[in-house]
Chain A
Amino acid sequence: TQLLEQSPQFLSIQEGENLTVYCNSSSVFSSLQWYRQEPGEGPVLLVTVVTGGEVKKLKRLTFQFGDARKDSSLHITAAQPGDTGLYLCAGAGGNAGNMLTFGGGTRLMVKP
C-alpha cells in the first residue's frame, strides 16, 4: 500500500508570511498532483509534476518534485487571505496504477 504523509496538518499564519507544505512517501510515483479544496466542493487541480527535480511556479505558488519522485513541496510566498483552504497532494502511477493516493491534507488559514 502506498502512503503519502502530508505536513503540517494545520497551519495558521498572518498575511504576508511565507509557508511550505510537505508531501513525503517511501514509494515512487510517476506523477504528483496538488489540489485545493474548498468546503462543499471537489478538489481543484493546481499543478501536476512529472519529472524528478521539476519545479513549477504558479504566481506566488512554487511546486517541487523530489529527485527520486517520492516527495514534493508547495511553497507559498506572501500568503494572502484568499489562499485559505485545504491543500491536498496526490500521487499517481508506480505500484498504484492510475488511481490517486492522497495525502491527509493541509488546512491553511491566512489571517488578515
Chain B
Amino acid sequence: NAGVMQNPRHLVRRRGQEARLRCSPMKGHSHVYWYRQLPEEGLKFMVYLQKENIIDESGMPKERFSAEFPKEGPSILRIQQVVRGDSAAYFCASSRWVDQPQHFGDGTRLSIL
C-alpha cells in the first residue's frame, strides 16, 4: 500500500465543518478512484478522475461532496458542512491505465463529532 499515499490518516471534524482528504497516486498512475467504506459495510465507489477531468461521479452524493485531480498535486476529496453520517473510511486507489488493476492507499478515517 505504500505506493498510494493518503493523508491525513485520521481526521476529526465537528458537524458543519469542511473535510479535505488528499491522495497522491502511485508513480506513473494517472487514474484515481475514491471509495467509501461505512462502518460494517463494504467499499462503495464514489468517483473516478483522470488529470483535470472527472470521468465518472455516479457514486458521489449530489450535495456537499466534490473531487478534483489537478494537473499538479494530489487528488482532493472535499466534503462541505459535514454531518455524522459522513463518518467513514475513505479510500483512494490508482491505476496506470483504465483497464489495469487498482492499488489502494491505507485510507483516511473521518470522524464527525
* Residues of A near any B CB (own CB < 8 A): 30-31, 33, 35, 40-45, 48, 88, 90, 92-93, 97-105
Contacts and interface: CB of A to CB of B under 8 A. Distances in A.
Contact of A100 (B31, B33, B107): B33
B42 A42 contact: no
Interface stretch (B11-19, B78-86, B97-105): B97-105
Most buried by B among A30, A42, A90: A42
Given A88-B42, A102-B44, A104-B42, A42 B33 contact: no
Contact of A98 (B6, B43, B99, B106): B99
Contacts of B56: 97-99
B30 to A, nearest CB: 13
Contacts of A100: 33, 35, 43, 45, 93, 102
A2 B92 CA distance: 21
Contact of A42 (B58, B98, B99, B106): B106
Contacts of B76: none
A45 B101 contact: yes
Contact of A45 (B45, B99, B103): B103
B63 to A, nearest CB: 21
Ranked nearest first, the 7 interchain pairs of A and B with the lowest CB-CB distance are: A42-B104, A99-B45, A102-B43, A42-B106, A104-B42, A102-B42, A48-B101
B48 interface: yes
B1 interface: yes
Contacts of A44: 1, 104
Contacts of B105: 42
Contacts of B69: none
A86 to B, nearest CB: 10
